[in-house]
Amino acid sequence: MPKVHSIRMATVLMAGGVSLAAMQQAQAAGFQLKEQSAQSQGNAFAGATATASDLSTIYFNPAGMTRLKHSGMDTNISYIVPSSTLTLENSSNPTSGLGTPLGNGNGGDAGGGVFVPAFYGMYSYDEDLKFGLSINTPFGLSTEYEDGWAGRYHGLKSAIMSINVTPSVAYRINKNLSVGAGVSLQYVEAELTKAVTDVGSANIANDGKSSLQGDDIGFGGRIGLLYEFNDATRVGASYQSRVRHNLKGEVEYKGLSAATIGALNGAGKQSVTHDASAKLVTPDIFSIGVSHDLNEKWTVLGEASRTQWSTFKHLQVLDNNGVEDENIYQNYQASHFVALGATYRHDKHNTFRFGMAFDEGAVETEHRTVRIPDADRYWLSVGYGYTADNFDVNIGYSYIKAADASLYESNTGTDGMISGTYDSDVNILAVNATWKF
């Protein structure tokens, strides 16, 4: 791949492929999606690795399956509505030594509603041995800015779809200790676009567009422990491994002058396309949770997790021969999530849930980009559940407010400069239905 192509691809991937999903302020640091259970949503995911009261434990802590008596299946849908707007302070054109402003366009609201599904199934072999399957989206979502906005050379659209398929098994060793494990197959598909200056045109205001599309399948694993001190108190811990991906696809340039297309080895064409690849590693996640029944009515919950986002220290871009063209420093940091919650059982049918959480951002101010204006987030959640003999329904709602996120992104000669402050929040509504048999 010619050097100019690898550089542009590296720039696109650094800003977007690292965040990929970048509905950054939406759920968790970076592009992680915690929204895998309406029941846990109501508690702001406090106690998610210890509660083990619904089938989503197959994802959060497979060892928790030993607490579930019946075989069953669960369908969960989360509707996530993030809003992220930039108060623009300054910008400049990449072809003019960072001297020409790019206008006042802030790109509009980069958010937009999206549905995130999850499915769980479990077969209860006996009281001590359980088999489970989870199919969900642990990383995902998208951002899209208006075409003419001031930061268009840094990013227009970032979209990702991920699918995790994880068969799991759990076994109760004794009355106190259960263990669980699963093997994950993870599919990732990404699309990233940005504007490109047309250096071959007499009018430097002319823009083209570059787009990257790629996908890959990777493998990982999950292990969990659940220790029950007594009928009222238990602690759970889980570890989800990193998954290594080598996204393979192509980069396309279009909307450029014939001279620029020719310089990109596309003489006589309207557009030019090149094969490309880039390495992506989803992070390790370690979680620990606690659940304690105060009495027959009230349960208090706690959760803490660490997501090892430092897997994004560098982004490596390879040409068609596997030779490294670029290795770009990204400087993501490990992030932490802490949640407290409570559950109130009004009677055997009706349950109410409450929760709050702090979610630490994965990127420091000096490394924040338009594709991932990541910042600390604060959660408030409520939920309701109805339980019947063979059927459960849960609803969970969260409001998330992100701290103001200042931005200064500059790359002389390729993307220009943009600065400002992001204001972001998120509304999330989740519903699930569980059948027991």
Highest mean pLDDT among 116-125, 205-214, 324-333, 399-408: 116-125
Mean pLDDT of 356-371: 84
Given a cut of 80, whether residue 4 has pLDDT beyond it is no
Given a cut of 60, whether residue 25 has pLDDT beyond it is no
pLDDT (0 to 100) of residue 19: 32
> Which of 38-42, 59-63, 106-110, 374-378 has the least mean pLDDT?
106-110
pTM: 0.85
What gap in Å lies between CA 157 and CA 192, rounded to an integer? 6
Residue with more model confidence, 33 or 415: 33
Given a cut of 70, whether residue 130 has pLDDT beyond it is yes
> Which of 93-97, 228-232, 236-240, 356-360 has the least mean pLDDT?
93-97
3-class state of residue 324 by DSSP: strand
What gap in Å lies between CA 287 and CA 308, rounded to an integer? 11
| Closest to 47 (Cα-Cα) out of 307, 234, 240, 284 | 234
Q: Which residues of 268-303 are buried (b: 16+ CB within 10 A; e: fewer)?
A: eeeebebebbbbbbbbbbebbbbbbbeeeeebebbb
| Per-residue pLDDT tens digits for 371-400 | 777 789 999 999 999 999 899 999 999 999
Mean pLDDT of 43-66: 97
Return the DSSP state at 9.
Answer: H
Given a cut of 70, whether residue 14 has pLDDT beyond it is no
What backbone phi and psi angles, to 5 degrees, belong to 334? Answer: -60, 140
What gap in Å lies between CA 422 and CA 419, rounded to an integer? 10
Mean pLDDT of 2-22: 34
Mean pLDDT of 265-282: 76
> Which of 24-33, 191-200, 289-298, 300-309 has the least mean pLDDT?
24-33
User: CB atoms < 10 A from the CB of 267, how many?
Assistant: 11
Structure tokens at 37: 């259970």
The pLDDT confidence band at residue 87, using thresholds 50, 70 and 90, is confident
Given a cut of 90, whether residue 203 has pLDDT beyond it is no
What gap in Å lies between CA 230 and CA 107, rounded to an integer? 55
pLDDT (0 to 100) of residue 166: 97
In order of their start, the domains of the chain are 3-436 (2.40.160.60)
Structure tokens at 90: 């300054």
pLDDT (0 to 100) of residue 70: 92
The pLDDT confidence band at residue 173, using thresholds 50, 70 and 90, is very high
Given a cut of 50, whether residue 3 has pLDDT beyond it is no
CB-based contact 431:384 (threshold 8 Å): no
**Beta strands, E only, 140-242:** 141-144, 157-172, 177-197, 207-228, 233-240
Please state, rounded to an integer, the average pLDDT across all residues of the chain: 83
The pLDDT confidence band at residue 211, using thresholds 50, 70 and 90, is confident
What number of helices (H) and strands (E) belong to the chain? 4, 20
**Beta strands, E only, 45-176:** 72-92, 114-124, 129-136, 141-144, 157-172
Mean pLDDT of 405-416: 72
> Which of 19-33, 211-225, 298-312 has the least mean pLDDT?
19-33
Which residues make beta-bridge pairs with 335?
A: 307
Mean pLDDT of 236-261: 86
pLDDT (0 to 100) of residue 331: 73
pLDDT (0 to 100) of residue 102: 67
Mean pLDDT of 222-240: 97
Site of tokens 């924040």:
368
pLDDT (0 to 100) of residue 13: 34
